[in-house]
Amino acid sequence: AQSVTQPDIHITVSEGASLELRCNYSYGATPYLFWYVQSPGQGLQLLLKYFSGDTLVQGIKGFEAEFKRSQSSFNLRKPSVHWSDAAEYFCAVTRNGNKLVFGAGTILRVKS
């Protein structure tokens, strides 16, 4: 069965600092990969997705993610974090585009 691991429950970074959120998945083939962001009391918003091709994908709000097949990872990065980036971030995978499997999420706190 597919599974998604986000090893960091909470991360705190200073405003302006770089950010990397980790995501590892367990699946035999390359699944479709997603990063979503959830602000308090809101639904999930898609940041970026990887289906195939270039392993470095660009998303909204200045985020990017790199797919590394050898490490079964899809880490999310941002070079300079803004206070408005404070939210919870979810990595998700799907094998066939039907059902999404989510990680437990990483709560990002930004200190000024």
Query: How far apart, in whole angstroms, are the C-alpha atoms of residue 52 and residue 8?
Result: 26
Distances (CA, A) of 23 to 15, 84, 92: 22, 22, 9
Q: How far is CA 95 from CA 25, 68, 90, 92, 109, in A?
A: 11, 17, 17, 10, 31
Contact by Cβ (8 Å): 19, 81: yes
102: contact with another protein by CB under 8 A? yes
- Tell me whether residue 70 or residue 97 sits nearer to another protein (CB atom): 97
Q: State the minimum distance, in angstroms, from the CB of residue 80 to another protein.
A: 25
Residue 25-64 contact track with another protein, rule CB under 8 A, x = bound: -------x-x-x----xxxxxx--x-x-------------
- Taking the least distance from each CB to another protein, the nearer of 81 and 105 is 105
Residues that bind another protein (CB under 8 A): 4, 9, 32, 34, 36, 41-46, 49, 51, 90, 94, 96-105, 107
